[in-house]
Structure 1
Amino acid sequence: MTCRLDTAQVERVYERLFDAYGEQHWWPADTPFEVMLGAILTQNTSWQNVEKALDRLRGAVLLDAESLLSMPREVLADHLRPAGYYNLKAGRLAAFLAWYCEQGGYAALNALETAELRSGLLGVHGIGPETADDMLLYAFGRPVFVIDAYTRRLFGRLGMLPPDAPYESLRGAFEAAIPADARHYGEWHALIVAHAKSACRSRPVCAECPLRGLCPAALRQEAVGRPLYSN
């Protein structure tokens, strides 16, 4: 499936989101290595829970690959309890740490071309396209657009993309419509997350949505005189 976005429409969405929420200063982590850990741990949980897990790890060992890799698996899992699915995530984290060390660490990985680095990440157990692209964008500063559930929901409701399209088709649509710039892509993704939490929720808060005039669902509600959802 080939997906396409109109650049002018996409720019209007960005401008309204930026006006509503301002600069987001993402990713919420202190170092590229923490971004990579967080990208794995945040699967199916909130960043607040990831922070709790990272704080537990910091209190036990140095937050580096070698120290974490030497930690017994059951001990690592126990520290990850706040992030949920802690046994599963301990296995995924261990697989990533082993690969990361085998590759020579951050400097060696950062020297790779984006396509090669992405392929390597996707070959690690437990790392799928969204997690790999989170790492590429926020830890390595590569212009790769991250597609998550919030992006699918928002652009599906806007009628601009089919929400059930394959990941790579959606990613390609954004990268074709928006000039390649890692900082801008990072801001885009962060604004989508902010908007999904504030207004474009599973039950949308249409009355307070800065994209209301662009959204077919909200416009249909207004056209038939139905009240818009609100808090």
Structure 2
Amino acid sequence: MTREQTLIEYYEALSERLGPCHWWPGESPFEIAVGAILVQNTNWINVEKAINNLKANDGLTPQGLRKFSMEELQELIRPSGFFRMKAVRLNNFLDFLDANSAKCITDLKGMETFELREKLLAVKGIGPETADSIMLYALNKPVFVVDAYTRRIFNRHMLVQEDIDYHELQEFFMDVLDPDIEMYNEYHALIVRTAKEWCKKSNPDCESCPLGKFMES
């Protein structure tokens, strides 16, 4: 079986069991981008609290976010953890938009994918996973997002090495799968849900996992 066939079979097995994920949550591309920065080193429950704080104070536009002092912004995003560092990163992101003459992130949608990715990665505090999440979920760019969950699952299935780096892992998918934005979106969300529900770091439940049958074959 080719790698493409294997990855599609995994995707179909997860889709059949879990159904649509409707990820990434957010009412606007800018909100999605802010969420991608805030979710670093925390879980989505904490990010939701911070997002709701910003929303209640009209802070989910570039102009709205700019009106806060650093201290005010830190307090609003405190639930997301590392709030001082993340406040700086949000301001770095706003500076990035200004430097590219973008009133909102959607103004960058017409930029070539590779160029936009490089520009995002140059923003202090935005790494590959955050940049790719912004590109896929906020801007509908055909970029496959990978993370520690992806590495864990596919290493346990002996499809990738445990020490594979981010870009190699990303290429493992993008080299063979069609650049299907909807599939990339859904596949990543399914992987995250699978890792949290069954393929946990300790005591994985392979018997109940929708991918368990592939471990046996």
Task: Work out whether the TM-score is over 0.5.
Answer: yes
Amino acid at match of 1:59: A
User: Secondary structure, in 3 states, of the residue corresponding to 1:39?
Assistant: helix
Amino acid at match of 2:190: L
* Alpha-carbon displacement from aligned partner over 1:175-210 (angstroms, at most 9, x marks no partner): 012111111100000100111111111120122111
Stretches of 4+ moved more than 4 A in 1?
A: none
What are structure 1's unaligned runs of at least 5 residues?
221-231
State yes or no: 1:180 paired with 2:179.
yes
Determine the structure 2 residue equivalent to 1:99: 96
What are structure 2's unaligned runs of at least 5 residues?
none
State yes or no: 1:209 paired with 2:213.
no
Q: Distance in 1 between matches of 2:5 and 2:191?
A: 17
* Alpha-carbon displacement from aligned partner over 1:80-125 (angstroms, at most 9, x marks no partner): 1110010011111111112113321324311201011101100101
State yes or no: 1:16 paired with 2:13.
yes
Determine the structure 2 residue equivalent to 1:89: 86
Determine the structure 2 residue equivalent to 1:147: 146
In the TM superposition, what are the counterparts of 1:1-80 in structure 2 within 5 Å?
Answer: 6-80=3-77
Q: Indicate the structure (1 or 2) with the bigger Cα radius of gyration.
A: 1
Task: Give the alignment's Cα RMSD to 1 decimal.
Answer: 1.4
TM-score, normalised on structure 1? 0.88
- 8 Å CA contact 1:66–1:101 kept in 2: the answer is no
Q: CA deviation at 1:212?
A: 1.2
Identity of matched residues, %: 42
- What count of residue pairs does the alignment treat as equivalent? 213
Q: Distance in 1 between matches of 2:31 and 2:69?
A: 20
User: Secondary structure, in 3 states, of the residue corresponding to 2:40?
Assistant: coil
Q: Distance in 1 between matches of 2:30 and 2:158?
A: 37
Q: Distance in 2 between matches of 1:35 and 1:190?
A: 14
Q: Distance in 1 between matches of 2:56 and 2:213?
A: 49
- 8 Å CA contact 1:65–1:101 kept in 2: the answer is no
Amino acid at match of 2:10: V
- 8 Å CA contact 1:145–1:171 kept in 2: the answer is yes
Q: Distance in 2 between matches of 1:78 and 1:11?
A: 44
**Higher RCO (CA 8 Å, separation ≥ 6 residues):** 1
